[in-house]
Structures are given as C-alpha cells and as structure tokens.
Chains A and B, each alone.
Chain A
Amino acid sequence: MQSYSSMYYYGAPQQQQGYPTIPAHPTVSKASVTNSANYHQNNHHHHHQQQQQQQQQPPLHHVAHFSYSSAPPPSNTPYNQPQHHPTYATPGSYYGQQPYHPPSQPPPPQQQQQQQQQQQHPTLIPAPSAGSYPIVSYPSAPGSSQYGTLSSSQATPPLKGMHTQVGAPLHQYTAGPPPPPTGYAGGHPSQMMPTVNGQGSTGRWFYCRPFPNLSQLSAALGGLSGVPELEVEALRPVNLLQERNLLPPRPLEAPEPNLSADLKKVNCSPQTFRCTLTSIPQTQALLNKARLPLGLVLHPFRDLQQLPVITSNTIVRCRFCRTYINPFVTFLDQRRWKCNLCYRVNDVPDEFMYNPVTRSYGEPHKRPEVQNATVEFIASSDYMLRPPQPAAYLFVLDVSHNAVEAGYLKYFCEALLDKLDKLPGDARTKVGFLTFDNTVHFYNLQEGLSQPQMLVVSDVDDIFIPSHDSLMVNLKESKELVKDLLTSLPAMFSQSKETHSALGPALQAALKLMTPTGGRISVFQTQLPSLGAGALQSREEPNQRSSSKGVQHLSPATDFYKKLALDCSGLQIGVDLFLLSSQYADLASLACISKYSAGSVFSYPSFHHIHNPAQLEKFQKDLERYLTRKIGFEAVMRIRCTKGLSIHTFHGNFFVRSTDLLSLANVNPDSAFAVQMSIEDTLADSSLACFQAALLYTSCKGKRRIRVHTLCLPVVNQLTDVYAGADVQAITCLLANMAIDRSVSSSLSDARDALENAVVDLISAYKSNVSSLQTSGMVVPAGLRLFPLYILALLKQKALRTDTSTRLDERIFSMCEFKTQPLQQLMRMVYPDLYRLDNISDQGALHLNDSVVPQPPLLHLSAERLSRDGAFLMDCGNVFYLWIGKCCNEMFVRDVLGCPSYSSIPPNMGHLPELDTPLSERVRAFVDWLQDNRGFSSNLHVLKDDASSKLPFFQQLVEDRSESGSSYQDFLQHIQLQVSK
C-alpha cells in the first residue's frame, strides 16, 4: 500500500483524466458488439413486432429526442421482449429502496395528499419538510434494486413500515457482461409496471422527461420563448434612494433559471450548485458589459435527504470529455446521445438500455442518471489507484500549560468518549492519539496491552516514530484501551508546567503516522507554536488593530505549514485545526495546514472552560457535529463546463491539481467551494450552458463513490436578461471570496475599494445600458436591489472592516469562514436575519409534518426597526441573539422565557425553556426550524437591553452608522458620488 500511495499522489485517477485516448468501457463495448450481432440473427423476425409494440405505447412515450420513426433503427436495436422467460434475477442485495417515511405515525391528510403526489411524480417536488431537498421516493419496483433513495450515502438500515414490495428479494444486475437481453423482459405486465400503494403505474409515464414533445423541446432549446413573470419582477427598476423596504418577507430564495418547466424540474438544487448569473451571457464582451462576476457556488458534499445511488457496471460518460451522462444530454436516437458539454455524439451502452426503475428495456432516457441532476455512482476499480483506504482518525492534542489552563482537554475527551461508536467508519476504522508540549507523546494502544503506553520523543528537531504498527490501531479491537486513554488523559497532564509548544514536530510525526493509510488529522492548538520546525513569532501589534492604514500580516509568515499541507494532501491526509487560543497564535500561518489539505478551521477566541461558557458550549456543539458528520476520503473533484466556458479561479480549501481538478484529501459536508468562470469562446452554438461537478471519494465504509451534480442554465444575448437572472446572494458570496484573495495578495484597502467599485460599476453599467426611464437617482434592477446593502454588510465584517479594533486572528478566521462556508450560512453571517418574536402569530405559518412553524417577516438590520417593547431574534448563522427590549411585554417574558419580569431575566440565558404556552411553542418551533437546516447547531443568547450585553446584537445592525463604517444611506450617497464622477 505504501508503494501505491506515492503513485496515487501525482497521477490523477485514470478515469478522471480527460484524455480521450482511454477507451471508455472496453469490455462492454465488445460485449455489445457480439450481443447485437447475435440478436440481429436470432431475433430478426421479431424486429417488426418490436416496432409495433413501441407504437402501441402511449403517445407521450414518443419523445422528441428519440427519433425512432425518422431514423430507421440500426440493426442492433431490435431487442425484443419474449413473453416467457425466467426473469433476470440474481439474488444479492445492493442499495434497496428506502423511501423515507416518518415512522409509523399516520400522516395528517395534507401530508398524505402530498405523498400521493410524490408517488405520482416522484421527481423534484419541493417538500416543505425538507426545506432543502425533496423527499423523493421512487416507486418501489420489485427487484429494481440498483439504486434507491438513501438518506445519505451511508446506507441507513431499512425503515419499518415500508411497502411490502421493498422487502421482496433484491435483485442485482451488476455482475458480468450485459446479460442477454431476453433477461430484461419482465414476464408479466404487472411486473413491468409495478403498482405502489394502489397507484397505477400509468402515472409514471408523466414523470420527468426532459422534453415531453417536440414543441416543448424547441421551446426549451429556445430558452427565452416567453418571458416569465418572475423575470419581469426581477427587472423592475428600483430607485435605491427612494425605496426603503428592500427585504422580501422571507429569506431570499435563489432565482429560478429561465428554462422550460421540464428542465427546471430536473435541475440541480440551488443549495448544492448555484451560479451567480442564472442566465449565462453569450460572450465575454456581454459579461464585461454587465459588470457582474460569473462564477459558481458549490456545496457538493452537502447532507442530502434523498440521493439516488446507482450501481452499474458501466458508468456512462462522454468518450471525449468524460462528462457523466446527465439529464441535459440529448438522445439522438435510442442508441446515441449527444454530450451537452462538448456536443459530441456517443453510443449508449447496452447496459444503459435497461431501466431498473421500470424494469423495462429500451428507455435510456428514463434511467435515474437521466432523471436526476444529482446522483451518486458506486465506482468500480477503474476509479481507484489503490484499494480504498479505511477511515483513519488521528487526534493531535496540545497539552502544554496553556492548554491545561484553557481546559479543553476534558471536554474533548468526554465528547469523543461519547461519540466513539458514532465515528463514521466500518470494522477497519483506525484511530490514534498524539499529544505534545515541548515534546511529542505517542500512545501505544496495541490490542492486548492492559493499559495504554505513553512513548515520549523529546528530540523535536528530528522527529521519528517510536513504533510503526501500534500507534494507529483498529478502533474495534482496541476500543477498551482507547476508552482508558480518553478517561485518563485529562488528569495525566493536569500538572503540566511546560509552556512551549512543538506543533511543527507534532504535525510531522502525525504525517508519518498517517502515511500508510491517509485519513484525517484533527489538531487542537492553544497557543503560538514556539519550538522546532514551524515555530512562529508574534506578529500582531495590538495598537495597530484598528488602524485604517492597512492591515499587515494577512499572509503566512512561513511556508512550513503550506508545504506540510501539500505533503499531507499528496498522501490523502486532511488536517482540521481547532484553535482555542486566548492570545495571538498566528492563524494566518497555521490555517495553511488546513487550507491546502482540504481541512476545516475552527476557532474559539478566548476559550476558557470556566470564564467563557459561551465558547465552551459552542466548542462542545461543534465537536459533537464534527465527530459524527459524514466524511469522504481521498477525494478529487472535477468541474466540467460547456465548451467555451473555462474556470478562472477556485476558492475554498483544497489543492488545485490541474485547471479543473481539485484534490481534496478529506471532504466534509460543511465546506463549500466557489469558482470564478470566464467565457473564452462565444456560446452562440447552444442556448444552454451546463456545469458538472463530479466528486470522487472513498466513503467511510471503504466504497469508492462518485457524486455528480449537473446544473443547466440558459444562455442569453441581451443585457437585460443577464440582469434578470442575476443571483445577488451568489454574487455577494463570490465577491467576498475575491475580496479575501485580494486583501491577502494586495492589501485590505484595495479589496475594500474593489468591493465598492463593484457596486459603482453595476449601477453605472445599468444606467448607461439598460435603464432609460430615469436619469436621476440610483436605479438597479429589482433582482439586484439588495446588492449595495450586502456589499456594505461585507465591508463591515470582521474580515474586511478597517476602523474597528479587530484582532488579527479573528480577522483571519473570518476570512477562512468566507472561503469555506456554504452560501446560506455565509449570507446569514454577512446579513443576519432579524425577526420580531413578541407578536409572532400563525399567520402564513408553514405546516410541517406535525408542527406549525410560524413565519415572521424579515426586518432590516437597523435600530429604527427595533422597539423597546418588542423581542427580536437575530439569526447570525453560527449564533442566535434574542434581544429583549426594556419595555417588552410581560407576557412574552413570562410565557417564553419563564421569568416573572424583565428584570429577573438572568444575564447568561442560553436557551429557551420548554413552557407549555402557545407563544413559547410557537417561538420554539420557529427557532428549532431555523436550527434544522444547518450543519453545526448554533447557540442562542438572550440579551437584555443594557449597555454591556446588547453590544454583539447592535454590532450586527449593519445599516446603521457605526465605528466600522457609514450607514446605508451614507453609503448610497457615497456610491452616487462615485457614479456621477
């Protein structure tokens, strides 16, 4: 395995490479040749019959992209369906159907109706309960077990109360060359069209086919036939100086691309894949004219509630550009498909002709790959250069005096002990521990020992591994020893007086320990590393914290951590950093270790287990999620896009291995990526542009998997259309990433200017090119009305603000978050959602499974929207603030907070008590609902209206004038001045 690892480092997986010379599926294509030859001979007389059969099928079946009739079927098409034949059925279980049903409770009538709808149209119907992703249940066909709906890629045990069909023997059609076509035949019509819950299978004809008929096909390709109302609304000119209420009542949704209804239905969820311009400009010139950035915002490994997982011998890909087959390809006829990225024509492999959903043959357009924009393939050994690695976790813990003072170790050990059984992995899972102060301590946890052995290496200048096989141990075999160690660890170092920290050597040791397997290193650091390689000096000058002249030391002081991270990345090791420091610890340098090894960075400034309970609580919550969240190992992600588009820059934590390939040693569900794009060639050839992100990873169960997301967007040649499709949140997110890059490579003031200029440019471009109505005022299209507001909010963020005193580490951490947080989370951090809670009502409430979630309207982040007699909830993404006004009505205080009066509210209230009042229930339902859709759960702070505690709340009111910047109105005036210059 060791010899593999070095190969694996540099050579991209063969199949991932875009070289057209590699034959795509040699075995199968050979098989198909022989098969078809046989079939032609044997079944020639059935040919006619076959065609007749097809014609008898409902008219909708004649899809425009199947030119059955116009082009005579080639000789290898006549697979017929003999009536009597043993069904092709091999026992063996793969991923079975697991439609998610809330266990055993009879659903309320509304939900029932919804379920029925879903079964009729099991495609992308937004399920309110999911909020993020539809709960899709494929009609469970007996035996159609290639793929199923899983709550995540880690198979969950089948839920109770499933339909009986699901329990039927699972069949598999994965092994060997394509089975004889006769085997495809479902013997009886009932088997061909299974019924689910009494629903006739006829419903299935309707479901989600790219183009139901010719006219719609042309409409879809036309892209812009008929301007929908949404677009008109997005283009309504808004004079920013006059309009004061810009916010929509509910948090902003992603704009819908202007596609035909069918394409919209299959398109990738905007939470996973979003483009800054949902209408792609045809040329770079048009893009330049629009003065908006073109880019993608991706969250590829997001926790999905439904994901079709496909196991098949051949993963169908374009032979030329290696694109995975997706819902936006065109089928020229039944045997050929045209790639939507490079427009070249490919053959449909035999195996693909069989549809496991309907168990019918000759319907390639109904395969799950072609019905879903997000699919996951179980990859074959072609996609590995070494056997899939086991899950391996190494914890590197700081145990110096500083760490003991901060007291994190006890809580870490508790959390890990608690979650030891829930660490993602299988029977091969490995764990190891390593502690360091001025020396590095290893722990021998070899099975059979009576207690863990500590091995100390004090030569930090030339670190070595004292033992090779007993330091990373199998978790299952050595569980008792691991538990032993975790219980004794906090006490072991409670007397530590060592103040030095040899982080560099500890990391080198960790790298050596993990070299044979790869995996995840979690580093807990509480101070500036001061010993051995990678030692750092304090660079922060506290009295320069608020200088407006320019912030220095945003870039790393040494390349030690970067080089180490690159070595890690090559050996498939991801490093996650937890910084629990109360002093300056030079995060700018330390963060490199995670940045280039695709890890995550967590920071808890002024962490102390007694003095700072808020940080402790956050640490515990984060740890809980961190230890149990899904993880993918040895991953690569390639982003392909339609010919003519090209990738300019990537943002996020990874190592860029080639122009479109990211190397991700670890991939986690909480990190997102952004990609800047440029248009190199005119896109006039096509009316659609597509993007495909393919993430190849090893699951914690040792399976190689490929998650493919495809996004399809219309191409436009009018500037108004570009503006109509602009996604203001994605634009803000991409600009934030670009600004962070700029502030590191150039300077902070430069980055701030660039952000301001983005607004100025947009307004003047819109003024000169589109808006002819008004000449005075600041006019922007309604879709972009929040843009100046968001930019102002960005300028007031810790990462980019200048005049307020900001600790360098906090600034850097904020920058790291900008680079990796998913869009939703980032937007909440930039422009928090503010709601008034004291008059919360059920009006317009969301009805979920068995609860009613009130939906109070969003408020602008300005003190003028607050009132002393109210209670306001601010959702800042990673924290909630509940501000209680001085004269807040007694009922709210009593019913929700459980306190008799305002003055008796305790100062550090961190949760809402479970009271049995309708108001409390409403508030809790709402807060819980807000918590639901995010990875890390957020703390809630109840703040009273007094000078000291309300500060964090009022700092977030970005529309008001503060020490970190001007008010929104002043900002607009400033922009207007710039525009008129």
Chain B
Amino acid sequence: MAFTFAAFCYMLALLLTAALIFFAIWHIIAFDELKTDYKNPIDQCNTLNPLVLPEYLIHFFFCVMFFCAAEWLTLFLNLPLLAYHVWRYMSRPVMSCPGLYDPTTIMNADILAYCQKEGWCKLAFYLLSFFYYLYGYVFLTLVKRILHCSVKNNYFNNFFKAIGSHCKRVKEPH
C-alpha cells in the first residue's frame, strides 16, 4: 500500500523531468550560441536535431504512465504540452532526418527568437512540473498515509510522529 504505482509514476516522472530540464537548458544555450555567432548553424542543427525526438518521447512516455496510473489531474496538466509537441513535429520543415531545426531558416530572427522563447517556456514548465511531481510523490507516499491513519488524533502531532517513524524506519536497515 505504501508504494503505489502512482507513486512510482511520480518518482519516475521526477527523474525524467530532471533530464528534460537539462535538455531545455542545453537548448537555450545552443540558441544563445547561435545568436552570438559562436556556432555554425549546420553544426548546431546537427547537434540539436537528434535530441528533439527523445525529449518528446520521454514526455510522451510519462504521460502514458500517468494515464495508466489514472492520475487525471497530472495528465490534464501535461496534455497541452503533449499537444504542442505533436503540432510542432507535424509542422516541421521538409526534412529527411528526424528533428525540427533547418539550418537554412534557423538564423531568421523570428525563428531564432521563437526557439529561444520556447526553450525558456519549457524550462519553466519542467521546473514547475518537477516540484509538482515531487509534491505528488511525497503526498502519495507520506501524507496520504498520515491522513489515512490520523482520523481522530491531532493532525499535527500525528504528522510529526509519522515523519519521525518514517525517519526511524529509514534508519533501521543501517
């Protein structure tokens, strides 16, 4: 009971979101480099393009997990991004390899600004969802159980007790 499938989903999402945050940071840095002349657009697109699909797939993967775990609220929060990803990939330029970025158009100021903005927005979204998943995980593994067993007693006392016992339990194996 303690470690449900939903909790597992949250934990996994937590880890994967951490990875996605790195993707987003990498994305921002890459476009910043493009803007400040440090990199050739062809090189930059070659490094960025292989990362697009993995990012989308990771996100899709834990959306599916949340669906299976019937975490509707979380799924609902993720749906807009999922839809955006699908739309973005559908409207990509004609390319024979996977990816989104076309070296011939990437230097257009509008596209460059759009990609940078996209990077920042995603970073913000992933950061928020990181804390949300953390909360979700903690809520499921600890708080729910506390709420469950603290029907009559003082809420706060029980809460601290539970945390204490949890800590003890964690210590015990050592």
B-binding residues in A (CB < 8 A):
10, 17-18, 555-560, 562-563, 566, 570, 596, 646-650, 655-661, 676, 678
A563 CA to B94 CA, complexed, in Å: 11
Query: Would you give the 0/1 interface string for B94-132, flagging 1 where the beta carbon is closer than 8 Å to chain A?
Result: 111000001110011110000000000000000000000
Residue of B93, B103, B107, B108 with most partner-chain A CB within 10 A:
B107
The answer to whether A18 and B94 touch across the interface, beta carbons within 8 angstroms, is: no
The answer to whether A656 and B104 touch across the interface, beta carbons within 8 angstroms, is: yes
Option from A559, A648, A661 in Cβ contact (under 8 Å) with B109: A648
The answer to whether B109 and A596 touch across the interface, beta carbons within 8 angstroms, is: no
A567 nearest in chain B by CB position: B42
Q: How large is the interface on B (under 10, 10 to 19, 20 to 34, 35 or more residues)?
A: 10 to 19
A657 CA to B42 CA, complexed, in Å: 8
Query: Would you give the 0/1 interface string for B19-55, flagging 1 where the beta carbon is closer than 8 Å to chain A?
Result: 0000000000000001101001111000000000000
The answer to whether A649 and B108 touch across the interface, beta carbons within 8 angstroms, is: yes
Residue of B93, B96, B109 with most partner-chain A CB within 10 A:
B109
A658 nearest in chain B by CB position: B37
The answer to whether A655 and B110 touch across the interface, beta carbons within 8 angstroms, is: no
The answer to whether B37 and A559 touch across the interface, beta carbons within 8 angstroms, is: no
Are A658 and B107 also in contact (CB < 8 A) when A10-B40, A570-B42 are? yes
A348 CA to B108 CA, complexed, in Å: 36
Residue of A563, A596, A676 with most partner-chain B CB within 10 A:
A563
A648 contact set on B, CB distance < 8 A: 108-110
Task: Jot down 11 A-B pairs with beta carbons below 8 A, ordered by A.
Answer: A17-B37, A555-B93, A555-B94, A557-B94, A558-B94, A562-B102, A649-B110, A650-B107, A658-B34, A658-B107, A660-B37
Query: Would you give the 0/1 interface string for B133-149, flagging 1 where the beta carbon is closer than 8 Å to chain A?
Result: 00000000000000000
A101 CA to B35 CA, complexed, in Å: 49
A648 nearest in chain B by CB position: B109
When A and B form their complex, which 9 residue pairs have the shortest distance between CB atoms, in order from nearest?
A656-B107, A648-B109, A658-B37, A10-B40, A649-B108, A559-B94, A559-B96, A559-B95, A596-B104
Are A659 and B35 also in contact (CB < 8 A) when A562-B104, A648-B109, A649-B110 are? yes
The answer to whether A560 and B37 touch across the interface, beta carbons within 8 angstroms, is: no
B40 contact set on A, CB distance < 8 A: 10, 657-658
Are A563 and B109 also in contact (CB < 8 A) when A596-B104, A658-B37 are? no
A649 CA to B104 CA, complexed, in Å: 11
Option from B34, B41, B43, B96 in Cβ contact (under 8 Å) with A563: B96
The answer to whether A560 and B96 touch across the interface, beta carbons within 8 angstroms, is: yes
B109 contact set on A, CB distance < 8 A: 646-649, 659, 676, 678
A656 contact set on B, CB distance < 8 A: 41, 104, 107-108
A646 contact set on B, CB distance < 8 A: 109
A562 contact set on B, CB distance < 8 A: 102, 104
The answer to whether A18 and B104 touch across the interface, beta carbons within 8 angstroms, is: no
B104 nearest in chain A by CB position: A596
B108 contact set on A, CB distance < 8 A: 648-649, 656
**Could you tell me the distance in whole angstroms from the C-beta of B61 to the nearest C-beta in chain A?**
29
Option from B34, B95, B104 in Cβ contact (under 8 Å) with A655: B104
A562 nearest in chain B by CB position: B104
A188 CA to B82 CA, complexed, in Å: 83
A659 CA to B109 CA, complexed, in Å: 8
A657 contact set on B, CB distance < 8 A: 40-41, 107
**Could you tell me the distance in whole angstroms from the C-beta of B99 to the nearest C-beta in chain A?**
11
**Could you tell me the distance in whole angstroms from the C-beta of B151 to the nearest C-beta in chain A?**
61
A678 CA to B112 CA, complexed, in Å: 14
B95 contact set on A, CB distance < 8 A: 559
The answer to whether A556 and B94 touch across the interface, beta carbons within 8 angstroms, is: yes
A559 CA to B110 CA, complexed, in Å: 22
A465 CA to B151 CA, complexed, in Å: 83
**Could you tell me the distance in whole angstroms from the C-beta of A694 to the nearest C-beta in chain B?**
15
B36 nearest in chain A by CB position: A659
B103 nearest in chain A by CB position: A566
B43 contact set on A, CB distance < 8 A: 10
A557 CA to B94 CA, complexed, in Å: 7
A559 contact set on B, CB distance < 8 A: 93-96, 102
A555 contact set on B, CB distance < 8 A: 93-94
The answer to whether A558 and B42 touch across the interface, beta carbons within 8 angstroms, is: no
- Beyond the given A658-B37, A660-B37, please list 10 additional residue pairs across the A-B interface where CB-CB is below 8 A: A17-B37, A559-B94, A566-B104, A655-B103, A657-B41, A658-B40, A658-B41, A659-B35, A659-B109, A676-B109
B104 contact set on A, CB distance < 8 A: 562, 566, 596, 655-656
Residue of A556, A563, A655, A658 with most partner-chain B CB within 10 A:
A658
**Could you tell me the distance in whole angstroms from the C-beta of B37 to the nearest C-beta in chain A?**
4
A657 CA to B43 CA, complexed, in Å: 10
Option from A18, A566, A649 in Cβ contact (under 8 Å) with B42: A566
B40 nearest in chain A by CB position: A10
B110 contact set on A, CB distance < 8 A: 648-649
The answer to whether A18 and B107 touch across the interface, beta carbons within 8 angstroms, is: no
B42 contact set on A, CB distance < 8 A: 10, 566, 570
A559 CA to B94 CA, complexed, in Å: 6
A18 CA to B104 CA, complexed, in Å: 22
A382 CA to B70 CA, complexed, in Å: 65
A660 contact set on B, CB distance < 8 A: 37
B34 contact set on A, CB distance < 8 A: 658-659
A658 contact set on B, CB distance < 8 A: 34, 37, 40-41, 107
A660 CA to B109 CA, complexed, in Å: 11
**Could you tell me the distance in whole angstroms from the C-beta of B47 to the nearest C-beta in chain A?**
13
**Could you tell me the distance in whole angstroms from the C-beta of A536 to the nearest C-beta in chain B?**
12
A774 CA to B40 CA, complexed, in Å: 54
The answer to whether A18 and B37 touch across the interface, beta carbons within 8 angstroms, is: yes
A656 CA to B41 CA, complexed, in Å: 8
**Could you tell me the distance in whole angstroms from the C-beta of A601 to the nearest C-beta in chain B?**
16
**Could you tell me the distance in whole angstroms from the C-beta of B82 to the nearest C-beta in chain A?**
25
**Could you tell me the distance in whole angstroms from the C-beta of A802 to the nearest C-beta in chain B?**
23
**Could you tell me the distance in whole angstroms from the C-beta of A309 to the nearest C-beta in chain B?**
29
B35 contact set on A, CB distance < 8 A: 659
A778 CA to B33 CA, complexed, in Å: 48
A18 CA to B42 CA, complexed, in Å: 20
Are A558 and B107 also in contact (CB < 8 A) when A10-B43, A659-B35, A659-B37 are? no
A557 nearest in chain B by CB position: B94
A566 contact set on B, CB distance < 8 A: 42, 103-104
**Could you tell me the distance in whole angstroms from the C-beta of B70 to the nearest C-beta in chain A?**
41
**Could you tell me the distance in whole angstroms from the C-beta of A170 to the nearest C-beta in chain B?**
40
B43 nearest in chain A by CB position: A10
A556 contact set on B, CB distance < 8 A: 94
B35 nearest in chain A by CB position: A659
B106 nearest in chain A by CB position: A656
A10 CA to B38 CA, complexed, in Å: 11
A559 CA to B35 CA, complexed, in Å: 25
**Could you tell me the distance in whole angstroms from the C-beta of A569 to the nearest C-beta in chain B?**
9
A646 CA to B108 CA, complexed, in Å: 12
A646 CA to B110 CA, complexed, in Å: 12
**Could you tell me the distance in whole angstroms from the C-beta of B103 to the nearest C-beta in chain A?**
6
B103 contact set on A, CB distance < 8 A: 566, 655
A589 nearest in chain B by CB position: B94
A565 nearest in chain B by CB position: B104
A590 CA to B107 CA, complexed, in Å: 22
Residue of B35, B42, B95 with most partner-chain A CB within 10 A:
B42
**Could you tell me the distance in whole angstroms from the C-beta of B68 to the nearest C-beta in chain A?**
38
A712 CA to B95 CA, complexed, in Å: 41
A648 CA to B111 CA, complexed, in Å: 10
A663 nearest in chain B by CB position: B40
A649 CA to B107 CA, complexed, in Å: 8
**Could you tell me the distance in whole angstroms from the C-beta of A142 to the nearest C-beta in chain B?**
45
A566 CA to B34 CA, complexed, in Å: 17
A945 CA to B107 CA, complexed, in Å: 51
A557 CA to B35 CA, complexed, in Å: 29
B37 contact set on A, CB distance < 8 A: 17-18, 658-661
**Could you tell me the distance in whole angstroms from the C-beta of A555 to the nearest C-beta in chain B?**
6
**Could you tell me the distance in whole angstroms from the C-beta of A74 to the nearest C-beta in chain B?**
35
A647 CA to B108 CA, complexed, in Å: 9
A768 CA to B37 CA, complexed, in Å: 41
A659 CA to B108 CA, complexed, in Å: 8
